[in-house]
A and B are shown apart, each in its own frame.
Chain A
Amino acid sequence: DQQVKQNSPSLSVQEGRISILNCDYTNSMFDYFLWYKKYPAEGPTFLISISSIKDKNEDGRFTVFLNKSAKHLSLHIVPSQPGDSAVYFCAASGTNQAGTALIFGKGTTLSVSS
C-alpha cells in the first residue's frame, strides 16, 4: 500500500511556463515533506522541503504548497528551464516512521522543451 503517491508518471512543459508536480499521501502522521530531483546515473538531489506547520515554502523558482486537509502537496517551478528536465520524487517523513526514513513516491518525469 503506497503511502506517497505521484499519480502522473510524466509531465511535458514548454520553457518559460509553469511546471506543477503533484503528490498525495495517505498517512496523516507525516509531518515533513521533501522534493528531490534525479538525473540519470546520479543519486537524488534535495530540492526543497516543507514542514506540516506551514502551507507554503519558496526557494527561488521553486515553491512547494501543502494542503493538509486534502493530504496533498505540489511543487511549482516558475519559469521552467530545459535544465529542470529530470525525475522528481516526493518524499515524506514523520516522527512515528522508522527512524527518520523517507517514504518516496514513484516519481514524475518532467520534460521541459525549448
Chain B
Amino acid sequence: DTGVSQDPRHKITKRGQNVTFRCDPISEHNRLYWYRQTLGQGPEFLTYFQNEAQLEKSRLLSDRFSAERPKGSFSTLEIQRTEQGDSAMYLCASSLAFGPVDEQFFGPGTRLTVL
C-alpha cells in the first residue's frame, strides 16, 4: 500500500497525559499537513511542512501541540498535557506540489479520546 499511513489508528488516554502520533506520507511527496476533525465538522488545518521545514501553524495549534518532520520524511504530532477538548480525529495529508495549491491525499486518521 503506497498511500498515507497513520499510527496508531485509535488512542485512548487520560487527561494530562502526553500522546504522540505518527504519519508516513506518500514517499515522493514533499508537503505534509496535519488537520483535526471533530464530530459534525470538516477537517481544520493545524500545520504543514514543506520537506523538513514547518512553514505554517494555525492558531488552533496551542503551545501544547508540537509537530516535527525530521529529514523530510515521516512526521510526528505530539500533544502534551491532553485535555478533553483535544478529543478528535487527527488527519495527516501529503502532496507533491510545486505551486501554491495542490491536491492533498489523506491518511485514515488517528482517533484520540481523552478521558
Interface of A with B (CB < 8 Å)?
4, 31-32, 34, 36, 41-46, 49, 89, 91, 93-95, 98-107
B21 in the interface, Cβ–Cβ < 8 Å? Answer: no
Chain B 58-72, CB within 8 Å of chain A: the 1/0 string?
100000000000000
Bound: A91/B42 CA distance, A: 9
> Which B residue's beta carbon lies closest to that of A32?
B101
Partner pick for A98 among B40, B43, B58, B91, CB 8 A cutoff: B58
If A43-B4, A43-B109 touch, whether A95 touches B100 (CB-CB below 8 Å) is: yes
If A44-B91, A93-B101 touch, whether A104 touches B42 (CB-CB below 8 Å) is: yes
> Which A residue's beta carbon lies closest to that of B46?
A101
20 contacts between A and B (CB under 8 A): A43-B93, A43-B107, A43-B109, A46-B104, A49-B103, A89-B42, A94-B101, A95-B101, A98-B56, A98-B58, A99-B48, A100-B31, A100-B100, A100-B101, A102-B33, A102-B35, A103-B45, A104-B42, A106-B41, A106-B42
* Size bracket, chain B contacts: 20 to 34
Residues of B within 8 A of A46 (CB): 103-105
Bound: A106/B102 CA distance, A: 21
B74 in the interface, Cβ–Cβ < 8 Å? Answer: no
CB distance from B109 to the nearest CB of A (A): 5
